Amino acid sequence: MPKKTAGAAAKPTSKSGAKPAEDGAVAARPRRERRSVRREAALTAAFRIAEQEGAAGLSMRRVAQELSVDVTALYRVFRDKDELLLALCERVIESELAELGDVPDDEPWQDTLRRIAATIWESQLRFPAITVLTFARITGGPAERRMVELLVDAFARSGLPRDRVVLFYRAFVDSVLGLCAHSAVLGSLDPEVREKDDTTWSRVYAHLPETDHPATRAHIAELTAVTQKSIYDTAVEALLTATERAAAGEGAGGAG
């Protein structure tokens, strides 16, 4: 196992690396800019690879090759692959925020959440590989923080008490991300495996003896016809309705 030397995480370079926070060093800028450009280039290259060759094709060597650079040079910019993945995730959230635009003050919180859910779904469709690779990870970056703020604010507008706000907020985001990841896995599998899974329904389940699996057999047509998006929408609406009902109940009955 390529064990990461956690002890070295208190990296000796961190002391000098922490310094650029002071804005006085104007002359230090050009270097930073160059490195930043490399970082951007690496990310866009990684995006293109992930889009075209799927999650399996997104390797450090492949990204470096796309930049006509040695692999190890990439490790000067990203400490490890995980950092690159989180940066990609951060970028996806940025694009989602851009597509989302501003949230009008008078927009109902349900509509805000519907728009967010739709936007996340679309970016999952665009970059399934990145969705599946960064599923359930936390970047801690500014874009993610902004997205969290939008979501928590929307749920807070429902009027629920704080503990219920975070409960429904987490149920919402975790479900949304889980469903997107589910769909993304299906969309980013090797074509061969993908076909295998896809046709499993019709191959296996269509030929079940009626005696053993009557319910499945009775719904086989609908099972093969249902779409991922309709499933997603159903789950999202269920969570919104549950939040609405909880808000109505708490608002009528209890404390603020």
Q: Which residues bind a copy of itself (CB under 8 A)?
A: 1, 4, 6, 56-57, 82, 135-138, 140, 145-146, 148-149, 152-153, 156, 162-163, 165-168, 170-171, 174-175, 177-179, 181-182, 185-186, 190, 192-193, 197, 200-201, 203-205, 208, 212-216, 218-219, 221-223, 225-226, 230-231, 234-235, 237-239, 241-243, 245
Q: How far is the CB of 45 from a copy of itself (least distance, A)?
A: 18
Sign of CA pseudo-dihedral 159, 162, 166, 171: negative
- Based on CB atoms, which residue is closest to a copy of itself, 38 or 182? 182
State how far the Cα of 10 lies from the Cα of 23, in Å rounded to an integer.
24
Burial class (CB in 10 A: 0-12, 13-18, 19+), 209: exposed
- Please check whether residue 86 is in contact with residue 139, taking contact to mean a CB–CB distance below 8 angstroms: yes
Q: How far is the CB of 29 from a copy of itself (least distance, A)?
A: 25
Q: How far is the CB of 42 from DNA (least distance, A)?
A: 9
Q: How far is the CB of 68 from DNA (least distance, A)?
A: 7
State how far the Cα of 87 lies from the Cα of 172, in Å rounded to an integer.
23
| Residue 197: how many other CB atoms lie within 10 Å | 12
Contacted entry of DNA, a copy of itself, none for residue 23, CB cut-off 5 to 8 Å set by kind? none
Residue 203 is a binding residue for DNA (CB under 7 A) = no
State how far the Cα of 14 lies from the Cα of 64, in Å rounded to an integer.
25
State how far the Cα of 50 lies from the Cα of 132, in Å rounded to an integer.
11
Contacted entry of a copy of itself, DNA, none for residue 163, CB cut-off 5 to 8 Å set by kind? a copy of itself
- Based on CB atoms, which residue is closest to a copy of itself, 60 or 235? 235
State how far the Cα of 109 lies from the Cα of 154, in Å rounded to an integer.
5
Interacting span for DNA (CB under 7 A) from 64-72, 122-130, 171-179, 209-217: 64-72
Contacted entry of DNA, a copy of itself, none for residue 98, CB cut-off 5 to 8 Å set by kind? none
Instruction: Count each helix (H run) and each strand (E run) in the chain, helices first.
Output: 13, 0
